Amino acid sequence: MNERQIAPADGKLGVLTVGLGAVSSTLIAGVELAKRGQADPIGSLTQMATIRLGKRTDARSPLIKDFVPLASLDDIVFGAWDPFPDDAYVAAQRAGVLESGKHLEGISDVLREVRPMPAAFDRTYVKRLDGENTMDSVDKRAMLDAIREDINRFREEKGVERVVMIWAASTEIFIEPGPAHQSIEAFEAAIDANDPTIAPSMLYAYAAILEGVPFANGAPNLTVDIPALRDLAVERGVPISGKDFKTGQTLIKTVLGPMLKARMLGLSGWYSTNILGNRDGEVLDDPESFKTKEESKLGVLEHILEPEKFPELYGDVYHKVRINYYPPRGDNKEGWDNIDLYGWLGYPMQMKVDFLCRDSILAAPLALDLVLFSDLAQRAGMSGIQEWLSFYYKAPMVAPGLYPEHDLFIQLTKLKNTLRWMMGEDQITHLGREYYEDV
Ligand SMILES: NC(=O)c1ccc[n+]([C@@H]2O[C@H](COP(=O)([O-])OP(=O)(O)OC[C@H]3O[C@@H](n4cnc5c(N)ncnc54)[C@H](O)[C@@H]3O)[C@@H](O)[C@H]2O)c1
């Protein structure tokens, strides 16, 4: 198999986070600690996972970061936008995810250097927030131009070779794809008309693509998942991916759901509820933002279980997802799942999962991997939707007409096979006949 031409990861990689809240500040602090050897980047495939190459008997399993030419953590430089003026040190303190004495004080100088640029922010789209570090205008053309200027200024001031942008900002209100999103011409006209279906996140994504910057969407907003921007990304050679980091409850759902299906066990109901008390929880307390999240969380089971093919097993599933804002828990989310399943001859059973997780501790390594893989994809000449990054998302973006692959282990296989394909290695099919035949 031929190896793809991949440009080397020379020079610095600028990482622009939209939003400097819990996830971004935890990401930045973690990368700085890992650079200094003061903490392990646990949960990150790019830093810790291996990839098997060739036959099981070949014993070739390099680290992914030794196999594909990824940017080194030492070359990453961060920048951000946020409607609150807090620098990354203050943002991390405020988010309360990391222990200050253990993980923030020692790197406070670098964290203080990441000061958010004024955000392209409009309260219409995130009702529960009101920050003062915003651009002067909510005129959409003015915001777009200002984001593009920010990208270029950041590039120059920090002397970075390449830039990647990641949306780790609040979940915007629910917007359905409409006429303004169908072509670049319609999208451009809608910007000039200040059409309400053009959300700030779309302006960030558009600016990124126009500036040749890969864009990853960690929230469930529509953002870059519209025909106009998907097509433009292909045309401009820019990788895009989304939506919504798959961190806690949905991660579990996309492991247990495929298990039920694999064993042909029936499902009558799946009730999922969460309590969390961070700023994300506060924003999601607004019904319009919650609706965006709900759509992203609900789609998963439908695609995994395929009720139309198995009506006797999955034709009548009651699926409910709730998120409750409960300040005392902060970022330490608790996610409960009650699963009502049935087996042989229809006998009912129950399964309960109680995941006492830490939202941003789970999300930060995904953000790091997305940044590094998006940069790799661009250097490998891969543009448009990066379906191989579905592994990281609750509602993976796919080409029109395709259903998304939600099963975590199919997603992992897809990711690793893409890396093998990039490097000209054989795909691993898991057939395994060769071990039992004289070859
Ligand atoms: N942590 C997780 O496990 C997880 C999982 C999936 C998705 N997400 C999503 O990731 C996003 C970030 O989560 P978080 O916990 O860091 O939230 P957070 O509230 O701590 O941080 C988000 C930040 O974005 C800022 N912001 C809002 N609108 C903005 C705009 N237009 N431009 C720039 N900044 C803006 C807010 O001021 C805030 O500081 C949320 O949308 C969340 O739903 C998080």
Closest CA to 376 of 141, 216, 247: 216
CA 410 to chain centre: 17
| Residue of 90, 165, 170 to mutate, ligand 1, most atoms within 8 A of C-beta | 170
CATH class of 249-356: alpha beta
Q: From CA 94, how far away is CA 111, in angstroms rounded?
A: 13
Phi-psi region of 115 (alpha: psi -120 to 50; beta: other; left: phi over 0): beta
Dihedral (CA of 363, 365, 371, 376) sign = negative
Ligand 1 atom at shortest distance from the alpha carbon of 284: 43
CA distances from 368 to 24, 41, 374, 416 (A): 10, 9, 10, 17
Q: Hey, how many other C-beta atoms are within 10 angstroms of the C-beta on 276?
A: 25
Residue 72 is predicted with a pLDDT of 98
**Are 208 and 17 spatial neighbours (Cβ–Cβ below 8 Å)?**
no
User: Is residue 172 in contact with ligand 1, taking CB distance under 6 Å?
Assistant: no
In the reported structure, the alpha carbon of residue 317 is separated from the centroid of ligand 1 by a whole-number distance in angstroms of 31
User: Is residue 122 in contact with ligand 1, taking CB distance under 6 Å?
Assistant: no
In one letter, which amino acid is 242? Answer: G
CATH number of 13-245+360-422: 3.40.50.720
Q: From CA 390, how far away is CA 388, in angstroms rounded?
A: 5
Residue 187 is predicted with a pLDDT of 98
Residue 290 is predicted with a pLDDT of 83
Residue 438 is predicted with a pLDDT of 67
Nearest CA to ligand 1 atom 29: 169
The whole-number mean pLDDT for each consecutive block of 10 residues of the chain, a chain of 439 residues, reads 87 98 97 97 98 94 98 98 98 95 96 98 89 93 98 98 97 94 98 97 98 97 97 98 94 96 97 88 82 78 94 95 90 93 98 95 98 98 98 96 94 97 93 82
Residue 70 is predicted with a pLDDT of 98
User: Is residue 359 in contact with ligand 1, taking CB distance under 6 Å?
Assistant: yes
Q: From CA 284, how far away is CA 249, in angstroms rounded?
A: 16
**Are 71 and 13 spatial neighbours (Cβ–Cβ below 8 Å)?**
yes
Q: Hey, how many other C-beta atoms are within 10 angstroms of the C-beta on 262?
A: 9
User: Is residue 245 in contact with ligand 1, taking CB distance under 6 Å?
Assistant: yes
Residue 294 is predicted with a pLDDT of 79
In the reported structure, the alpha carbon of residue 108 is separated from the centroid of ligand 1 by a whole-number distance in angstroms of 22
Residue 160 is predicted with a pLDDT of 98
In the reported structure, the alpha carbon of residue 23 is separated from the centroid of ligand 1 by a whole-number distance in angstroms of 7
Query: Could you tell me the two tokens for 312?
Result: 């006797």
Give residue limits of the domains in the chain. Answer: 13-245+360-422, 249-356
Residue 439 is predicted with a pLDDT of 55
User: Is residue 395 in contact with ligand 1, taking CB distance under 6 Å?
Assistant: no
Residue 437 is predicted with a pLDDT of 83
Predicted TM-score of the model (pTM): 0.96
User: Is residue 170 in contact with ligand 1, taking CB distance under 6 Å?
Assistant: yes
User: Is residue 19 in contact with ligand 1, taking CB distance under 6 Å?
Assistant: yes
| Residue of 81, 98, 166, 280 to mutate, ligand 1, most atoms within 8 A of C-beta | 280
Q: From CA 100, how far away is CA 112, in angstroms rounded?
A: 14
